Structure 1
């Protein structure tokens, strides 16, 4: 993945230079977009390079001779039957539909997305201040 990001960044940088020389200088949008694409590719490649250097050896999931028990452990808690993600997705869809239809629908969706988000975040909250 790291090499693909380096290649994408280099290709976009080369195309930005060619596009800048080939087109009218009063049209800066293409050069700006290609430059930002090149910077994005280089940023992803740099991050992956730094992360790869921090890891020592081969991770268990990349070892061709690895066993399933090598990576066994706790992956966290996943709610088995929560309805809050459904309501949050529904209200988010209303908000995005409102961007195309009208701002009044965005306001209606924002009114309903706040309780859905609070309900999902505090679903398993226990104690004296539980909702």
Structure 2
């Protein structure tokens, strides 16, 4: 069973390590490198944020069947999500994402087309259960 306190300590140690690395790197480059220094400080901050979050949720942490060493697979079975049957919206969203990335590489007007297509397909996917055959 994973212990949340151990995980929080691990992330705090990692945050301290990355903070020390960031300070050493800033001294080593004499503060002239403006990509790595903020990235290392941001990495340390993220480690500390995860450690802080794990400490906050320590009291509410509930162990599930997957956390038990003697848990059975049959106990873990169940419905994970609800998916729309025969939905074409995700395919259109994937095509619009491809157009978006092509637009980033080629020109801005292709990006705008992909953006509007993406908004259309996301809206259609979100409201798929609101009208039509699968309305409820």
- Alignment correspondent of 1:42: 48
- Structure 1 gaps, min length 5: none
Question: Higher RCO, 1 or 2 (CA under 8 Å, sep at least 6)?
Answer: 2
Q: Tell me the TM-score normalised to structure 1 length.
A: 0.79
The root-mean-square deviation of aligned C-alpha atoms, in Å, is 2.4
SS in 1 for 2:128: coil
Determine whether 1:32 maps to 2:41.
no
Specify which of 9, 12, 28 is matched with residue 15 of structure 2: 9
Specify which of 72, 80, 84 is matched with residue 75 of structure 1: 80
Deviations 1:67-89 (A, max 9, x none): 34544554331223211111111
- Given the superposition, is the C-alpha separation of residues 81 and 49 from structure 1 closer, same or farther in structure 2, using an over 3 Å criterion? farther
Q: State the number of aligned residues.
A: 127
Q: Tell me the TM-score normalised to structure 2 length.
A: 0.77
- Alignment correspondent of 2:3: none
Determine whether 1:100 maps to 2:120.
no
- Alignment correspondent of 2:4: none
Cα offset, 1:37, TM superposition: 0.9
Tell me the distance in 2 between the aligned counterparts of 1:2 and 1:83. 42
Which stretches of structure 1, 4 residues or longer, exceed 6 Å deviation after superposition? none
Specify which of 106, 119, 123 is matched with residue 118 of structure 1: 123
